[in-house]
Amino acid sequence: MMTLTRYGLREWGTAGLITLVILIGCWYLIRHGHPEWGWPVAGVVVVLFLAFAAFFRNPSRTIPADPAVLVGPADGVVRDIEVVEDFNFPPFDGKARRIGIFLSVLNVHVNRAPAELEVESKFYREGEYLDARNSECAKRNEAMTIAGGKRFPLAVRQISGAIARRIVCPVDPGRKLRKGEVYGMIKFGSRTELYLPVDGFEINVKVGDRVYGGETVMATVKE
């Protein structure tokens, strides 16, 4: 089932009202002898609205039940997998393994919790709006990070891109998220990063893989 996320209600709701007004105008033209204008304009307006609304789609996903499995926090393509040395967001205090996902404007833009997560810390970083494909965007762009854990430390970072200029993350410390739960979005594409402890996990994706939020198995806890 496909729905539109509530995090884009202002945008797709406003676009829907504008579309409705224009369609009423098109109906008026058609009824008054100008179908050569009314029908083409109506068709273009409907296509434009559907394309715009697609940015805010929130498809249902089948969430793996296995508690040892971590799922994708976003739709997109894996850009990098590496160890960072300075990830100091409680409960992390230094090293962490980062899996970076690039989101194009065509991807689903909602973010999901990779596993059960009780949020311990939240940090907003002001920054630039470099293209999300730029290797410097992870360090310099606007970003929002939530971190915490249940069975193990876990963090997700939302990063703005050249087009994405608004991060939505209505989650505060103390909030408990279910695995696969939608908790926010980055509007119009960008980058999402998953942070895990360096040891104790098998990484199930590689650079270049296409992943799907809430569904793709990103990593598995080692027994």
d(CA 43, CA 179): 40
190 is catalytic: yes
**HSE of 31 in the Cβ direction (CA atoms, 13 Å)?**
6
Catalytically annotated residue among 60, 135, 160, 190: 190
Note whether 117 and 153 are within 8 A (CB).
no
Residues with Cβ within 8 Å of 101's Cβ and at least 6 positions away in sequence, in order, are 72, 73, 74, 75, 76, 77, 78, 79, 191, 192, 193, 194, 211
**Which alpha helices (DSSP H) does 144-206 contain, by range?**
none
CA 17 to chain CA centroid, Å, is 25
Strand order in the sheet with 182-186: 110-112, 182-186, 167-168
Note whether 58 and 5 are within 8 A (CB).
yes
The length of the chain in residues reads: 223
Query: Which tokens in the block code for residue 168?
Result: 């939505």
Residue with tokens 């991060």: 167
What amino acid positions are annotated as catalytic residues?
Answer: 190
